[in-house]
Amino acid sequence: MLDPQIIFQKFDLYRLNKIIQSTDKDQLMIYASLILLFIFIFKNFLLSFISFVLNLIILEKERKLAFHQTGRNSGVIHSGLYYKPGSLRAKNCVKGREQLIGFAKENNIAHDICGKIVLATNQEEAKRLEALKINGVKNGLKGLKMLTPEEFKKIEPNTEGIAALWVPDSGIINYKSVCNKLAGLITKTNPKSKIACNCELLDINDGLLFSTNAIYKTKHTIFCGGLFSDRLAKKDKVKLDMKIVGFRGDYYRLSDKAKSKVKNLIYPVPNPEFPFLGIHFTRMIGGDIECGPNAVFTFKREGYQKTDFSWKDTIESLSFLGTWRLFINHWKFGFNEYRRAFSKALFLKALKKMIPTLKMEDIVEGRSGVRAMALSYDGEVIDDLKMVKNKNNLHVLNTPSPAATACLAVGEQIMGKAKSHFNLKNLR
């Protein structure tokens, strides 16, 4: 969309003067009236679509908040067990967990710090379990305890394995409720703030945000686009060394008759060679028990069904060298995940490693979500917070799991970066 100043600069004043001199005065008055009418209409059209009076506006492309990743995650409050000690990811998780629990208590958001067990089903996993405990201690976790089969069966009676790690700091919450509460506080705290839904961003040009329902003039802009963070950055002419690639995670849930087989949270010992935690059991705040997720490449960034497809999303992902390097590095893992995605029997087989008594009728197909995986050109997963500055804009390109648990801590990181970049001395 052209700036009106650019349009007016296109006029050749010399030619315009010649036209005026050679034009009949009555005709000239008609032309002048038409020009004035055009300017009046154009001015009011533009002004009706630009907002100047708000201190803060949040643009959301969907009709409601938490429609995608925030509303489709596992609902787990992570402890910080898995992440490299000293990393920003680990620090944000541990600090963010404490902040999140405090926020939930203060605002009466349903949550439960129920703890979880990480279950080893063979000797190799048991060795990794010891290393996992050491990692958790370095990250400041309290109360970690290695459990014998007799001990972990007191917590989860239906599990089978040779050892387990008790993690008391883990819990569950509904992140949709967290998001909606935050939204309410934003508009309540600052009366000159607004949350605009159904507002998809089309273009970015020198402080003007062109969306599907309005044009916004901004002084400073922070972009947190999740699955589309790289595309928003490209609209802002940011040169990127990464790509967002979507991976769908499918869940099953336990039937009403089988719910009693899981009390709280049961996780497998993660394989450090793979960028995913593996299939686990999660008690949700509402009482349902979810089983999953798997991890399969999706042919649509917001494709929650197995058959969802987008030419644009597919071509973008598969034309990126990093995607193919990830596929090559983890082809066996990816192949098995795809097999399990289309086979209930194989999904059940993976679940039975931890709870052998599960039957086919015990699991029912559930929901799905899509992870925004940030990949580098070498096929490595970017596993920490990544932000890029560009003029008066700040792009949050990657907020990896546990982004929901760490949301308040990550918010502080973004605020600190914005304060520095935008030179906002009074930002709190």
Six token digits for residue 285: 């705040």
| 36-45, 255-264, 418-427: segment of lowest average pLDDT | 36-45
The domain ranges of the chain are: 4-51, 120-139+146-166
Q: How far apart are CA 372 and CA 275, in angstroms?
A: 12
User: pLDDT (tens digit, 9 = 90+) per residue, 128-175?
Assistant: 999 999 999 999 999 999 999 999 999 999 999 999 999 999 999 999
pLDDT value at residue 2: 31
pLDDT value at residue 32: 55
As a whole number, mean pLDDT of residues 401-412 equals: 95
| 29-43, 131-145, 281-295, 351-365: segment of lowest average pLDDT | 29-43
14 pLDDT band, cuts 50/70/90, is very low
Res 39 pLDDT > 80 = no
How many other C-beta atoms are found inside a 10 Å radius of the C-beta of residue 227? 19
Percentage of residues in the chain with pLDDT exceeding 70? 86
Percentage of residues in the chain with pLDDT exceeding 90? 78
Res 404 pLDDT > 70 = yes
How many other C-beta atoms are found inside a 10 Å radius of the C-beta of residue 103? 19
Res 40 pLDDT > 60 = no
* CB 370 within 8 Å of CB 301: yes
Sign of CA dihedral 208, 230, 277, 293: positive
Looking only at the bridges linking them, the beta strands covering 163-167 and 116-120 are antiparallel
pLDDT value at residue 10: 33
User: pLDDT (tens digit, 9 = 90+) per residue, 337-365?
Assistant: 999 999 999 999 999 999 999 999 999 99
Res 25 pLDDT > 80 = no
34 pLDDT band, cuts 50/70/90, is low
Q: How far apart are CA 290 and CA 279, in angstroms?
A: 10
Is 202 or 274 the better-scoring residue by pLDDT?
202
pLDDT value at residue 8: 31
Res 317 pLDDT > 90 = yes
Res 106 pLDDT > 60 = yes
Res 13 pLDDT > 80 = no
Res 15 pLDDT > 50 = no
Q: How far apart are CA 69 and CA 354, in angstroms?
A: 27
pLDDT value at residue 273: 74
- Mean pLDDT, all residues of the chain: 88
As a whole number, mean pLDDT of residues 286-307 equals: 95
| 84-93, 183-192, 305-314: segment of lowest average pLDDT | 183-192
Burial of 337 (0-12, 13-18, 19+ CB in 10 A): buried
As a whole number, mean pLDDT of residues 195-212 equals: 93
pLDDT value at residue 411: 95
As a whole number, mean pLDDT of residues 191-215 equals: 91
User: pLDDT (tens digit, 9 = 90+) per residue, 210-235?
Assistant: 999 889 999 999 999 999 999 999 99
Res 50 pLDDT > 50 = no
pLDDT value at residue 424: 84
CA 271 to chain centre: 23
46 pLDDT band, cuts 50/70/90, is very low
* CB 288 within 8 Å of CB 217: no
How many other C-beta atoms are found inside a 10 Å radius of the C-beta of residue 180? 17
* CB 252 within 8 Å of CB 292: yes
* CB 32 within 8 Å of CB 40: no
